[in-house]
Structure 1
Amino acid sequence: MLENRKILLCVSGGIAVYKAVALVSKLSQAGATVKVIMTESAQEFVQPLTFQVMSRNDVYTDTFDEKDSSVIAHIDLADWADLIIVAPGTANVIGKLANGIGDDMVTTTLLAATAPIWIAPAMNVHMYDHPAVKRNLQQLHEDGIRFIEPSEGFLACGYVGKGRLEEPEKITELVKDYFTREHKLSGKKVVVTAGPTRERIDPVRFLTNFSSGKMGYAMAGAAAEMGAETILISGPVSLPVPSGVTRIQVESAEDMLKAVEAHFDTANYVVKTAAVADYRPKAIAEQKVKKQEGSSTIELERTVDILKQLGQQKKNQVLIGFAAETNNVTKYAKEKLSRKNADYIIANDVSEAQAGFESDTNRVTVFGKNDFEQAFDMMPKQQLARQLFEMITDKEESYDS
């Protein structure tokens, strides 16, 4: 399943290094070509020869030990890999990478890499929960690095808790799934809208909402990861652009409509995740409106319903809308599906804990035509985005067959 796939395994120092040996074996058995870089600390647990035998490739341990004089080793390895896995990922290597420190073969290669990087953390439960480690994990997450979360169980130090390196068999399955999924949207163009819009009142004030853009950015990242040409039309949020995604920055509902329409005819999938303002001030003051005694009234007018307008215009596009509700979620989602001529409506209750605008997790139910309905449990938004695209692409393939 992994034939012709090139995987670079970066091994840092911890007792879980022995699992990295098994991981090389599992990946190689699945057909992958695996090369290994080890930190100095990792070599205290397992000798490089072990990885050399299991991978049947040279093992790299020293930035200045150039095995091929025609290339610079850490740059060549960074360019070579289709996927880079750091396992075990110690607090030390996580901290270095989060802060841009390249002081050995592993960290200099990681900093030079353009391939996707996955880190499988492994450390004592209290280290994993330390505020500094949490900050570093968050920074790497924002930088686009994925994590294979450690299992809970008995640790070498005697504690029981989160911190064990995930099992080699599970990591191998995740790698297989990744490469299987990688080309599902190849040759397709996906347009995603994300975040809130701002409707100006005057030069210093505007109407907006609580949308963070996290779900839309996760959808765009998943589409790009699955091989799509991905256009992300984003309202004003401060989130990093996912790898492989082209972002178009907009402010108002009118701006977003124009940007979507510019790409709509050539799109295969349009994902309307943005929380677009339903109303805007009828008149925008050219100067700051000064406060005055008593109450004040702002006359509002409707903005264009972008999803409904796209539903009227669509030909072969798959149109996916989101419905953020606080009550009667199923009723409103089904009405929206019909009224706006969408192919799918992804609905969630934003009043639910850990499923609202600012959260990193979400729980949704997907509604489609012919009474299709599928619920997804609470999970991180990146993971949910991938599962949503997998489900939708599978569903569309079944319609075509």
Structure 2
Amino acid sequence: MEEQHVVEERHGDFERVLVVGTGALGVAFLPFWINWLGNSFPGMEQRYALTRSACRFVSRDAVAVLSGKEVFVDDWKEFSGVDVPHVSLAEWADLILVHPATLNFVSRFALGVADTPLMLALHSTRALVGVAPSLPPGAPANPVVQRHLAALRERPGVVLAPTIPARSASTGEVADGGSAPLNELYDLCVERRRSAGGERAS
């Protein structure tokens, strides 16, 4: 009974979560995280979005079947002229988790680029946005990348997870830059919301 109470309490922090996968190799593990979210928070509403590059590493159909929801692909060509997907996503979510977030995605988000439906949603939402960067070897030491990460760290409403050591697929060497696990990103967002005195979304 005590364990059930803990799960319900954690679920109470967020009710509608949008998970965004970008074109880092780690997005191939998204099916695992779909199951984790569903098992950990059975009452939570979940939606999933993929960038076009993410679709190289994880199947849109697999994500749809596992989540039981239509998958949002971040491409204007996916929508008719009367659709306003960025508005519906921005208004629906009370938490957006970008996991993993490529260097390209991090840079565009930090600079305020708004050239796709998802980017427009991220810049327009009042939801808390958690970002777990997945950076190539050497990138964390680049001063431009450091400025982008610092800008996101300082932005209100954004939670930036620290990168972790990861093994390079090409060289086999271990270096900083891997994305933090989605459960850790989620917990960081819970901590931010509670420290800000946030209440459960209605």
Smaller-chain TM-score bracket? 0.7 to 0.9
Gaps of 5+ in 1: 183-221, 229-401
Residue type at the aligned position of 1:227: G
- Tell me the equivalent position of 1:122: 134
Counterpart position of 1:226: 197
2:161 equivalent to 1:148 = yes
User: Which residue identity is paired with 1:138?
Assistant: A
1:161 alignment partner in structure 2: 175
RMSD of aligned C-alpha atoms? 2.5
CA distance in 1 between counterparts of 2:152 and 2:99 reads 15
Residue 130 of structure 1: how far off its partner (Å): 1.4
CA distances 1:179-203 after superposition (whole Å, capped 9, x unpaired):
9x63xxxxxxxxxxxxxxxxxxxxx
Please give the alpha-carbon distance, in whole angstroms, between the structure 1 residues aligned to 2:111 and 2:148: 8
- Residue 5 of structure 2 is matched in structure 1 by none
Q: 1:15·1:156 contact (CA, 8 Å) conserved in 2?
A: no
Larger radius of gyration between Structure 1 and Structure 2: 1
2:18–2:96 CA contact under 8 A, matched in 1: yes
Between Structure 1 and Structure 2, the one with more strand by share is 1
- 1:42 aligned partner: 54
Q: Is the 8 A contact 1:154 1:161 kept in 2?
A: yes
TM-superposed CA distance for 1:7, in Å, is 0.6
How far apart in 2 are the matches of 1:174 and 1:53? 28
Structure with the higher fraction of residues in helix conformation: 2
TM-score (norm 2): 0.80
Structure 1 CA distance for aligned equivalents of residues 81 and 32 of structure 2 = 27
Identical positions, percent = 24
| Partners of 1:43 and 1:104 in 2: CA distance | 16
Q: Any residues of structure 2 matched to 1:292-303 within 5 Å, and which?
A: none
- Say which is worse superposed, 134-143 or 20-29, in terms of deviation: 20-29
SS in structure 1 of the partner of residue 198 of structure 2: coil
Amino acid at match of 1:132: V
User: 2:3 maps to what in 1?
Assistant: none
Listed as ranges, the matches of 1:120-269 within 5 Å are 120-144=132-156, 145-157=158-170, 158-174=172-188, 177-178=190-191, 182=194, 222=195, 225-227=196-198
Q: Do the aligned residues in 2 keep the contact of 1:81 with 1:115 (CA within 8 Å)?
A: yes
- The normalised TM-score by structure 1 is 0.42
CA distance in 2, matches of 1:39, 1:105: 10
Which of 19, 23, 32 pairs up with 2:33?
23
Change (3 A) 1:109 1:53: same
CA distance in 2, matches of 1:119, 1:131: 19
1:8 aligns with 2:48: no
CA–CA separation in structure 2 for the residues paired with 1:77 and 1:102? 14
Give matches, 1:291-370, under 5 Å.
Answer: none
